[in-house]
Amino acid sequence: MSSKPSPATPTVSATPPASDSAPVAPPPAKPEDASTPHNFEEPVFQKCKDADPPCEGARCGHPWTVRYREPGGRTGKQREKTLPRKREADAFAVKVENDKNQGTYLDPERGKVTVKAWAEKWLDHQILADSSRKDYRAFFVNHVFPHMGSKSLAGTTTSDVQSLVTKLHRGYDDNKPLAAYTIKIRMVSVKSFFKAAVKDRRIPSNQCDDVTYPRMSSQAVDRDQIPTLAEVNAIAGAMPERYRLAVWLMAGLGLRISEALAVSIDCVRGSVLRVRQQTSVKGPGGSREPALAPLKHRSEGDYREIPLAAFLADEITAHVDERGTWTIEGQDGLLFAAPSGKLATRTTLRHYWLMAMKATGLDFTPHDLRHFFASTALAGGVALHEVSHWLGHRSIDMTVDIYGHLTEDAPERMRRVMQQALRPPAELAAAA
């Protein structure tokens, strides 16, 4: 019996036959060659790796560069910043991107302008009276510029500002120490200056925010500085007739010297006196010629109205009937003038005031007549905020600091008011 051959068993190979379509495994990755040019799309890199010859050290110690764009995508200006360590460079790169995403990015070039250069520009753009502009500029020129004028805005620190305040308080070089209140007022302009730089996106924060100022001594007026009515009468009687009315305007209306000397007949508006200007020796363009200027702490055209007592109205009428009025610097109806015919100023009045003090044996200043006005009003129960407005104070806080202690009977008045409101007298209750 013939046997049939068995079919051939196919041979299975562990390695597939070569084929043009078979996938080929990629070669193993090679470590980066130090000579390979850097991909500048990476934000953090070392320029030394692209030098000729390149730096081959893995940790060569050379600085790291952060390359980034300002907001605006591909159209944003490209910038670089060099930092000594990679972790610092990485942190800066992350911060830049976060700032751009949050809209808080600041162009570092804008913060490189010096304090002096930015201050000059800032001062020129302020809407100020000529006298205020001159005061601001004088403070910057005499104190701020010598201390930190050459520093960049971004490079100026809170410590720099604090150092300036300390110097002003202690005195330095030929400059005498300034009073705590004066320092605080002067530094208002510096704080506004840095605030403007923040708004202009030149610096991230105001360097004045955390500055500590000297503690101010009590501003409360000493009762010995307040003349009595008899003393006010004596002072008025010792003054020359041409300036006697000025004493009553200061004592009866609380006017400053410069405000009283600038009163004109058209300031009288029935039962009130409208104060709208003052005399000043800080004339236009920095001249020392007397001129009419806006009120203190106020802008051009601002005014305040003060209740006019009948006695004062009669004194004004008598003064005009006897002495007439003056037209000076285009202003008609002025009640006062210097002997020379020019505007009367505090310097004009000072000579006659000292003569009156000598004649009466008293020791007051013209400003003490404002204290008489305020203390008399408060003693009569006039509200503190009304007195503050009539005095022309910058804020009621100033009035409280100076005259708050003169309202000692306020608690007793309050007790009487509340007692009557909560438990009225029997006859009122019965009538109700």
Residues 243 and 233: their CA atoms lie apart, in Å, by 14
Q: Which helix (H) or strand (E) holds 401?
A: helix 396-403
Architecture of the domain whose range is 223-371: Orthogonal Bundle (1.10)
List the single range of 44-58, 210-224, 397-411 with lowest mean pLDDT. 397-411
As given in the structure block, the two tokens for residue 118 are 């930015």
Residues 162 and 212: their CA atoms lie apart, in Å, by 7
As given in the structure block, the two tokens for residue 313 are 């109205």
Mean pLDDT score of the chain: 83
Give the distance between the most distant pair of CA atoms in the chain: 168
Residues 336 and 239: their CA atoms lie apart, in Å, by 14
Kindly tell me if the per-residue pLDDT of 313 is higher than 70.
yes
Q: What is the mean pLDDT of residues 131-154?
A: 91
Kindly tell me if the per-residue pLDDT of 396 is higher than 60.
yes
Kindly tell me if the per-residue pLDDT of 241 is higher than 60.
yes
- Positions of E strands within 151-229: none
pLDDT top residue among 199 and 80: 199
Residues 128 and 298: their CA atoms lie apart, in Å, by 10
Closest by CA position to 143, among listed 98, 182, 106, 85: 182
pLDDT digits (tens, 9 = 90+) for 117-129: 999 999 999 887 7
Residues 243 and 349: their CA atoms lie apart, in Å, by 8
pLDDT top residue among 308 and 432: 308
**Cis (ω within 30 of 0) for the bond into 17?**
no
Q: Would you kindly state where each structural domain of the chain is located, as residue ranges? A: 44-105, 112-199, 223-371
Name residue 45's beta-bridge partners.
65
Q: What is the mean pLDDT of residues 134-143?
A: 92
Contact 151, 159 (CB under 8 A): no
**What pLDDT score does 13 carry?**
39
The Cβ of residue 246 has, within 10 Å, a number of other Cβ atoms equal to 27
Architecture of the domain whose range is 112-199: Orthogonal Bundle (1.10)
The Cβ of residue 373 has, within 10 Å, a number of other Cβ atoms equal to 22
The Cβ of residue 262 has, within 10 Å, a number of other Cβ atoms equal to 26
**What pLDDT score does 95 carry?**
81
pLDDT top residue among 228 and 404: 228
CA atoms within 13 A on the CB side of 344: 25
Q: What is the mean pLDDT of residues 35-56?
A: 72
pLDDT top residue among 287 and 16: 287
pLDDT top residue among 146 and 30: 146
Residues 309 and 24: their CA atoms lie apart, in Å, by 109
Residue 349 — pLDDT band, cuts 50, 70, 90?
A: very high
Residues 271 and 97: their CA atoms lie apart, in Å, by 66
pLDDT digits (tens, 9 = 90+) for 184-193: 989 999 999 9
141 secondary structure, DSSP code: I
Q: Is 185 exposed, middle or buried (0-12, 13-18, 19+ CB in 10 A)?
A: middle
**What pLDDT score does 358 carry?**
97
Amino acid identity for residue 368 in this structure = D
Q: State percent of the chain over pLDDT 90.
A: 46
List the single range of 237-251, 363-377, 384-398 with lowest mean pLDDT. 384-398
Q: State percent of the chain over pLDDT 70.
A: 82
**What pLDDT score does 429 carry?**
56
